[in-house]
Structure 1
């Protein structure tokens, strides 16, 4: 079979066939009377073997060694090819992710594209200061890729950088919440904590709905952050957890403040005071009773004032003195307002 016919049937160009011949990789065993190369069936078989090995990523030299050296073991070479292929796939996947994030930002000009790429590269830095600078140096008018910011939040361990990322997400009109929500499903509690902190910084209805999910998280920190954020947004669903935070002493001052805010927008002060009083009756723990007494100071209205008045005669001197001091401060504040 002449070179032209071999090229047509094999899909290997005549130029490449001549190159194989020069390398001694696939050399036609015959010549026509006119001196043209003539390939035998065995030559064609070797050619297909070479092409098969090349599809695995072998170089021409490795293909020749595999076919001609009896002691050539494929295991090491194939292992190297697997490793290199995985690296190439990872690099291509990284490129694809970067392109998708650029595309998601819908850049209008090449300048926007370059700014986004600069941000993405900055977020990949091993130095926290550089990651933070990449975020804060962005033009306020720039359209940043919210999904990339959200993904970075879930991985960011530096609190300063995480704060900058949350600030940027808050500017992104509530976008990126879906990525953050996925972080709440992570088996890694640190990821869930970062996710809920970031979601709490996003002022959107979607973020509020996602925070509701976090109220049932097994981790106290995740639940506490979600309940504080929801309470600040007027959600009465957060009340049971906020009360538990006061009783257990987990961010109890913040929890009491949020309970006070809730009574002004969506909850009944009487109901919250009643719940706190029930906790008072149900415990002899002096520290718990003191926290509940102090929490009553944050609730506006007559109901908490009546409860504090009763506590001024409590058998625990610290409780009684605290209740009396709170009432004194409130009275002074009232007089100042009237004056």
Structure 2
């Protein structure tokens, strides 16, 4: 059977012109021609034509069809994969169009004639969003529900009108009304973006750079600036709870002088969130680089190089969740951030001598001598007792000890030591002649106060004492005649017997200092030791440090302290005991103590850290001191 071109066109529904084109491009050429040159199509030609039409149904291009039919195998994998991708793209485009239309339908259904008049603007705006946002971001932006707000929903349009009206009337950005508008704006933005900083940043960029978007939505660069200033002032009303008026004004000046710093936060948070989503370790170089940028942006935004102001700002952020609005922080990212901060300030690993915590405390005491004036704890032996290698390492890396986390830890270390030594001095003034330092570590009090009358007993693990004595010898620090070393493991007890063998007289009053130890012991071991102290002579007293349950801390502090505790546990020093102040006081009374008082930041800051400009300040630390007397 041979068909002329007209006959073939009639049977297949194709035009003669299409068949001529197929012949011209080599897609379908007749196998024969008449003597006069007319095309004749045979059986093989018909089979090829059917295959051409089948591939056209898959949306293949004519060149791809020719390559498929002329190549080996008849249907190359790459072409089919390309067609599947093209079909998927068409499906996605249809889904996008469906969502856009449904969004407009929802707005029209709920908005009446006023919304109906603007429906073309809505479609135009959605088209702009589609060009700048990912599909997931579009779904977030266009989602509807009780906890979401889409662009041009009534809450947004009403708020934009109110802000525009306030700007026209010259409403000051530091007024209470402006503050209220700023808080509403931030909370609506969070609901609209599902607290996604990357999406928020893209929307800000689009709105700032697309004049047509400004016309439709009504948000202009000037409005962004006004809201930014109002929000900065609103933050300062929260800062005022934690800092002096002069410090509030400095924080206000920094926020309002360069709003670009404040607008840089969402992008940085988005980068951190991407690292978290990718499973990048908080200790990794990329995350630590982001943390350095975080620290610099924090200082640029709020405090500059003013360490005292930085300390107050950080304390405010710990206690005021609203201060974190607008940058995309949530509990998961906050945990990741705190892990990264802790990872940048490792607890020293255990060596042949002291426990990691003992060496960490000694390094902080030494750093205090080099960095802060006036000193809370004046300890001229603190650097020497470290030994040459550790002292050189400290001096070479002092910037590490200027980090806010290090400053916060150092505040606790020097204040607790100063408090214990002050109470020891008061006990000496009352006639007490025995001083017992439980868990002495690298404490130098006995060597700095060798002229104090009485006996001093340093109680600690044998390995720590051996390391300390070697350091003392190397540094040329003489052991006072009044000092006696008492090797004891608190969890294996034997404290009473060990002290007695060292010359401790239980019939005479004594003062006990027990810092940085109880959290590493089981409760039974803690109360066994306290029971021994309670059985000492009347007039005895103890200053002990303890840790309150971490669950009662502000979220940012809790997460940070959980990471510190986890890091210590990895190094063999897990925190085991936590006490509520009132419950501990009741237990002390039951053991036989006549009085006790708990000391925390509220009591210790005014006593030791008032009016400092170096950042030393006790924030929401879990550490507490208990002074108990018999």
Q: TM-score, normalised by structure 2?
A: 0.23
Higher share of residues assigned strand: 2
Larger gyration radius, structure 1 or structure 2: 2
Higher share of residues assigned helix: 1
Q: TM-score, normalised by structure 1?
A: 0.38
